Structure 1
Amino acid sequence: MTPALRRAFHIAAFSWYGFVVQSIYAKDGEELPPGIFVYGGPWKYLTFLNLLLQMTFFGLAAVSDLQPGKKAASSLSRCKDLLFSVFAFPVGMFVVLLFWSIFAYDRELVYPADIDTFFPPWMNHAMHTLVLPVLLGEVLLQPHTYPQNRHALAALGVVGLAYLSWIIWVYVSVGIWVYPLLGLFSAAGLGGFFFFNMTVVTLLYLLGDKLNSHIWNKDKAQ
């Protein structure tokens, strides 16, 4: 893909995510179903945090595209690659796969039906569906430099524990689980569910690494 088309893709993706984030954030203050934006607003939802993550990545990518060719290895470019490989790809894919898996089983556990009154179908798909093809487009668009696996997985683990601590804090503070599904688990079950989720995210990180290497014929030292 030519540099011009790559820049257009990154700018379009950044603009799209900016629009979606603004549309969701504008709902704060409306008369929503009980508990949706109580304590922490949309900031307690992994879906919303993922949208911010995607928007940040594509914003950095758009800025990086404007750099002269000789600056391709700049700190901004390295930061962009790190953000995509370790966080944007695995977390974005995780949000899509986990959401629709639970939704197919029992939507009330993750996205109760009464939410449809406030979030139209296009917004649901913007949050939980279109993330996947946009990420795959980025994989095909340009190669990314991946860090050593142990460093990447350590960073993912820290971020995962931070989010778990955040949602537990929300529950302790207001007595409402961020997602109804979490209320079905005991303390041990919650730990097991978290471990399962981190395993899935790890596998998605490794998938991104393999796709990047396969498509662009890149070798990475472990």
Structure 2
Amino acid sequence: MTRTSTCIYHFFVLSWYIFIIYYIYQLKVDIQKQSILPKGQQWQYATFINLFLQTIFYGVACLEDVLRRIKGKKDIKFITAFRDLLFTSLGFPVSTIIFLLFWSLFLYDREVVYPKNLDYIIPVWLNHAMHTSILPFSLIEVIFRPYCYPQKKKGLSILTIVFLAYISRLLWFYSQTGIWLYPIFGKLSPISIAVFLSISYIFTIGTYLLGEKLNHWKWGDMRQLRKKNK
């Protein structure tokens, strides 16, 4: 992509995510009236957290695009480094694992992840906006924009900390309310839950490694390239 087209694309995706979040916010009253989701807790779902994550990332990407045109590469190294770290460590892995887990469980038994009564409130297009389009957007970033991946230990550590923090929050919520945010956990034994979470973690790490491989395949070793350009 050229600089101009990249800037336009990032602004478009940023606007899209802002619109989705706003639309969901408008739906929350209907969702609570139907008692479909625990009151006030809809924003704790990984799907919604990812929407905020992607919004932040594309906001940073837009800022980097604009500053790059105004100041040049050397004066915005911090913004570029933060953009790269945000996308490589969280943006790509989180969107990819949500896509994979959601649709795998949905095809297996939608009631354990997205009950059918949600269809009466959440439009089909919104479901795809939250769970489908997130992957193509991330893949486009990998294919059309080079990213400098951090040291594997650093990137995986960030992803692991976020994963464990979310699982801790999930378990804390259950301990306080007796309600699982995700219906699937209500059908599993404690051991099965541990196995499920362990497998989810392995797949999450796999998505990080996949993004790294795709980026290296398309753009080569960006760390070495940037060292040479210093």
TM-score, with normalisation over the residues of structure 2? 0.91
CA distance in 1, matches of 2:100, 2:144: 22
For the aligned residues, what is the CA RMSD? 1.5
Q: SS state of the match for residue 27, structure 2?
A: coil
Q: Alpha-carbon deviation of 1:151?
A: 1.3
Amino acid at match of 2:161: V
In the alignment, structure 1 residue 202 sits paired with structure 2 residue 205: yes
Are 1:14 and 1:59, in contact at CA under 8 Å, matched by a contact in 2?
A: yes
Tell me, yes or no, if the aligned pair for 2:47 and 2:130 is still in contact at 8 Å.
Answer: yes
How do residues 92-107 of structure 1 correspond to structure 2 at under 5 angstroms? 92-107=95-110
Query: What do the CA deviations read for 1:131-164 (whole angstroms, capped 9, x no partner)?
Result: 1111111111210010111111111111111101
The question of whether the paired residues in 2 share the 8 Å contact of 1:3 and 1:65 is answered with yes
Where do 5+ consecutive residues of structure 1 fail to align?
none
- Residue correspondence of structure 1 range 183-198 to structure 2 within 5 A: 183-198=186-201
Residues 84-115 of structure 1, C-alpha deviation per residue, up to 9 Å, x if partnerless? 00101011011011100100010000000000
Match of 2:228 in 1: none
The runs of 5 or more residues in structure 2 that have no matched partner are 225-230
Percent identity (aligned): 40
The CA deviation at 1:186 is 2.1
User: Which one of the candidate residues 119, 122, 129 is aligned to 2:122?
Assistant: 119
Alignment of structure 1 residues 38-117 onto 2, 5 Å: 38=39, 40-67=40-67, 68-71=71-74, 74-117=77-120
* In the alignment, structure 1 residue 156 sits paired with structure 2 residue 159: yes
* Inter-CA distance 72–116: structure 2 relative to 1 (3 Å threshold): farther
Give the aligned partner of residue 144 of structure 1: 147
Range that drifts further, 179-188 or 69-78: 69-78
Task: Give the TM-score of the pair, scaled to structure 1.
Answer: 0.94
Question: 1:72 Cα shift?
Answer: 6.4
More helix by share: 2
Task: Quote the Cα distance in structure 2 between the aligned partners of 1:178 and 1:215.
Answer: 38
Aligned partner of 1:16 in structure 2 is: 16
